[in-house]
Structure 1
């Protein structure tokens, strides 16, 4: 029904990824290039009024109405979602879960 699912996943630093892939190669910090971002925002503050939090993910409810309304606060597994605060933002730099270089290597 056009809702957006946003998984709760750990953030990582690009420098940690470089250390995990090539621990013995020196790195050179060159700064941000045009168009690059330091952080990714998955749920911006201006969409927080549409966001619901579940144990392992968020749902951003659609902004359009359907003839048959759907209750997005309840999953098929009967997990109940909660509305987030109106100033809520889910972003890589405010995430409380971070991948360390050793854990990154296990994922690669």
Structure 2
């Protein structure tokens, strides 16, 4: 069990342990976790959260941020308006059908959208 935390812009928080967390609050940053039962959380705008371990969760709360995970993981996506107010939040499971593994997603107009 471990944690990697970062608060700088254009930065990265990476963790490989099970039951662990990678957290980043900087804009244009990345939080990546490869451990099982873990979390990658990013609150910065234009940022990303990525999980590779089983039963893990990727959470993004910043404006125009994206998340991805492997099969069986969960993604929590947040959409904000031009004034940074939260418009909607949606949680989806990477099921391999509607939500593909290792594919970036963001919330646009209240809908989960595949992005680069």
The TM-score normalised by the length of structure 2 is 0.24
TM-score (norm 1): 0.25
Higher relative contact order (CA 8 A, sep 6+): 1
More strand as a share of residues: 2
Query: Which structure shows the bigger proportion of residues in helix conformation?
Result: 1
